[in-house]
Chains A and B, each alone.
Chain A
Amino acid sequence: GAGVSQSPSNKVTEKGKDVELRCDPISGHTALYWYRQSLGQGLEFLIYFQGNSAPDKSGLPSDRFSAERTGGSVSTLTIQRTQQEDSAVYLCASSLGGGRENQPQHFGDGTRLSIL
């Protein structure tokens, strides 16, 4: 199992609840990215980690969204007080390098989040 792993694969929750999405990147990949993909839309960048720090969190849509990464490995994206517009597929990707390096990104299959 050398790929990027995301859990859960599907999450259905009620509006106003908090959700936590998990990403296990490929071992040794220092860069980790979170994206959001809505139906018929492109990938919307949310946040980028290099190691445990997040030099670019400019894509987080509101202060209800936060993310952390520990041990240079697993990352968690948390959405507080979920709203219906948060419904989307949340994708995680990792790569060997970050910043301006031209390393391809390796994606997980995403978490499909549905807010009722």
Chain B
Amino acid sequence: SQKIEQNSEALNIQEGKTATLTCNYTNYSPAYLQWYRQDPGRGPVFLLLIRENEKEKRKERLKVTFDTTLKQSLFHITASQPADSATYLCALRDDKIIFGKGTRLHILP
């Protein structure tokens, strides 16, 4: 069956360090993958999109990689700040867009 998996446990990172979140998928061949941020009580907000023919995409302190052989995307936040604390969702499009359950990130001051 098709699956998209993110770290189910919360991730605690010290302020200033790099946070790395993982998104793994099986039985999909996505054309692209997206990352969203969701704060409590709010809807998800789009952050980055990476296409299947791209290895890496950057935006300010954010970096996303996409390895179609490993079927994995990594999401990095460098020089992390407490304001980066949120749940981060990955989403991929096969015949429809599918979201992971998200990883809660806590940046500790």
Contacts and interface: CB of A to CB of B under 8 A. Distances in A.
A42 B100 contact: yes
A45 interface: yes
Given A102-B93, A104-B49, A107-B43, A45 B34 contact: no
Contacts of A48: 96
Contacts of A45: 96-99
Q: Is the contact region of chain B dominated by helix, strand, or loop, or is it mixed?
A: strand
Interface string B20-34: 000000000001101
A35 to B, nearest CB: 8
Contact of A43 (B32, B41, B89, B95): B89
Interface in B51-109: 51, 89, 91, 93, 95-102
Nearest to B94: A100
A18 interface: no
Contact of A42 (B49, B96, B102): B102
Contacts of A42: 89, 99-102
Contact of B32 (A58, A102, A106, A107): A102
A41 interface: yes
Contacts of A41: 101
A107 B45 contact: yes
Contacts of A93: 43-44
16 contacts: A40-B101, A42-B89, A42-B100, A43-B44, A43-B89, A45-B99, A48-B96, A100-B95, A102-B31, A102-B32, A104-B46, A105-B44, A105-B97, A107-B43, A109-B41, A109-B43
Interface of B: 31-32, 34, 41-46, 49, 51, 89, 91, 93, 95-102
Interface of A: 4, 33, 35, 40-43, 45, 48, 56, 58, 91, 93, 100, 102, 104-110
